[in-house]
Structure 1
Amino acid sequence: MRTRPLKVALLGCGVVGSEVARIMTTHADDLTARIGAPVELAGVAVRRPSKVREGIDPALITTDATALLKRGDIDVAIEVIGGIEPARTLITTAFEHGISVVSANKALLAQDGAALHAAAGQAGLDLYYEAAVAGAIPLIRPLRESLAGDKINRVMGIVNGTTNFILDKMDATGAGYQEALDEATALGYAEADPTADVEGYDAAAKAAILAGIAFHTRVHLDDVYREGMTEVSAADFASAKRMGCTIKLLAILERAADGESVTARVHPAMIPLSHPLASVREAYNAVFVEAEAAGRLMFYGPGAGGAPTASAVLGDLVAVCRNKLAEATGPGESAYTQLPVSPMGDVVTRYHISLDVADKPGVLAQVATCFAEHGVSIDTVRQQGKDGEASLVVVTHRAPDASLSGTVEALRKLDTVRGVASIMRVEGE
């Protein structure tokens, strides 16, 4: 066994970084045995050096991350800073100095993954990022390695714990969105500013990463269609229950039937209670994969938090260190298919539309005609009326999103339609 330790620079020491440092210390002997050489925390770059960090030698703390990377003896850098800068510059600097990188930075990888992979490949180094998607759940490595010989056609999942907690509470208790968000904030599941979670930005970044790996093509963050969940109401959940469904914020990645393009989207959707994703509760994540040979697979577990995310980081660290000892690298970017990402208008699915209409004869006929004129076939209709006001709930058969958008635009122009209260896609059937 090699006696000189592999030296690790930890960039960032927040919730995840502090857990990484703790596990590296408490499991040092096990890590040595698994890697085949000692692994040593050689420096910790932080913004606030005065903060007390229990279990970390103060002598390791520095505010100069660049100097830490350039000092000449670092083998692996663990980046858990988050955001675009300075993380991007630091990762590039690491590659320039012969340092492999383990990252948990979903936003950066979704935006600049191609350039970072290219830099790692040119330098003959590793870029691993299991922790960037779904916390502790082994997902990226199974997609990138275990299923490398298969053809993945669809990936659908819950990849944000905060939104799943909120929607689960709305479903279980009948609470409104704001009430459920307040509970999530009080329990620490939601940030003071929850925008990245509830508006789908976090899930969209993860969707871009997963789509690129699953379909062997480059999918940028801007390619992912995104809708948030702030407009989901208790009434939507009531309608979903009448259909035998619940509502989840889903990342859905699909290969076209002809295999010539892919789609990537994040939005709330109704799914049947019989679907495996419907039973995912609280702040848990789950990803459902459909492959040609392997069939249907589901990956489930805690998708966030210090210890779960650190588990994924340490798994990557072990793999990268083993590669260092073998003077090899693991799999890099696979983008050989170069498939285009189709617009949301091309997506075909079912829809649940709730309309506020005048309670008088002929309204249903007008609405049905509007759907027919845009090529959207109606599956079921439910109407309730009282005192001149009525609600009309229409569930469609499968139709292109562009056709549904045209239908809704035309409905809004009808004198008998007071408003379009809700539009929800229906998935998983």
Structure 2
Amino acid sequence: MQGFTYVKDVAKAGEGSLVNVRGWVYRKRVTGGKIFIVIRDSTGVIQAVVSRDNESVFKKAEQLNIESSLIATGYVRKEPRAPGGFEIQVTDIPWSFVGWQFPINEDAAKADSEYLLDMRHLWVRSRRMQAVLKIRSTIFGAIHEWFRSNGYYEVQAPMFITSAVEGGSTLFEVNYFGEKAYLTQSSQFYLEALIFSLEKVYTIAPSFRAEKSRTRRHLTEFWHAEAEVAWAGLEDMFTVTENLISHIVKRVLESNLEDLSLLGRKTEPLENVKPPFPRVPYDEAINILNKKGFNLKWGDDIGADEERVLTLEFTQPIHLHHFPENVKAFYHRNDPSKPSTTLSVDVLAPEGYGEVVGGGERIYDYDELINKIKRFNLNPEDYQWYIDLRKYGSVPHAGFGLGVDRLVMWICGLDHIRDALPFPRDMRRLKP
């Protein structure tokens, strides 16, 4: 025997093989002169059995707590009652770290979500969190894969900014060597600058919103996958977003079925995710919602409650498009054929999850942008360099931002966005 065997590969080693496994104690029980230890590593769990006949090893095993770390050596044996159908008959524990009594038990895990948030640095070891993190890794990888295979260049933008992208009320102000600055709400403006060099660009980076919100889908710090494309319009954004999301879901179904199962996530809704997505104009959405008991008038925003009801009408994500001017940011281009509306789109995830993408066409004409900034009672001087882009070789262009944490939440079937990432930040939580 050489090296170490990951838990997932123990069965492949074959019955009677001598293996060396390293990991952490997930479960432990003593019965009938034997200690049964379920060992976990990053790949799964395996049952290890220590017999009292092997006195020195038995004493080592007796000392182990939940989450003690160890290396176990032993022979592989078929055991239908064990997780995965195999176990290890332990002959030696050449190394272990017993540590303190682990502070999280099953009762605490079920009873107190705030306690688990306080103990998040330890709760990330749970199999449930491990499954979410594996799916999350697949999602990030699939985003990069799709963009790069479709001719996009990955770029980076600064986290310190001097003006708002999504409205001044949600800016985090910081002292930047005596000058007032803010944490970025979005990399969009910088990506727009870069399309004049690279044409198709994307980034995956944190964004920050000082939203005093306690809903199940809001964070103050979240991961943002953003893209901007030269020579593109609203129709292109329909195609790009539905193909990107479909690709991500496909990769998760290919790579993470076991993790989805551990989370209790039904895969049928994910299997429905294929382009094209239904397109629902804002006007039509208002009619649907009012028939469902809402009392919305044209020009009202469609919030989380409305999105939940609307998405339950569909089995796929939907493109909700052509929002009124007043409910979208100033940089959205108005539709020349219906100037009261914008060439904008939100992608809403089904099953009540709601918005995961916001995007559309950007204003590319200098005078049009100046006029709209003033209509929104903003100061053009605050956006000088952004406006400057419209002076030199401006072109029609479009883009979007995808909230990766919201996407993880939906794909995993989670109840709260805080469970979609390892260390969440919201208005009440700054640690761990």
Superposition TM-score, scaled by structure 2 size: 0.23
| Structure possessing the higher radius of gyration over alpha carbons | 2
Superposition TM-score, scaled by structure 1 size: 0.23
Higher relative contact order (CA 8 A, sep 6+): 1
